[in-house]
Amino acid sequence: MTSLDDLKKDFVPFDAVMMNFIIIGEMAGKLSEEFKDNDSEVEWHKIYSFRNIIVHDYFGIDEIVVWQIIQTKIPALKKRLDTILNL
């Protein structure tokens, strides 16, 4: 996907992206408070809160916000997690 229009063309990829956000949020919610407190660079509560929004207000999801998260937040999260896992 190279644009928001690509993402919106078909509900299957969009739904897949939403499911992955749910999984990421679920996993963030299962991390220990100690772990999250030791890595305040990641906004863990926002990740879990976004999961709740998707689950409970799916039809109210703003596609532009989703695309912005994909473009800005996910790469930064991946980079941070790579760093954590390589420690």
Catalytic residue from among 17, 50, 51, 54: 51
**45 is annotated as an active-site residue:** no
**80 is annotated as an active-site residue:** no
Catalytic residue from among 56, 82, 86, 87: 56
Burial label for 15, CB within 10 Å (0-12, 13-18, 19+), is exposed
Percentages of the chain per state (helix, strand, coil), in multiples of 5: 80, 0, 20
Active site residues: 51, 56
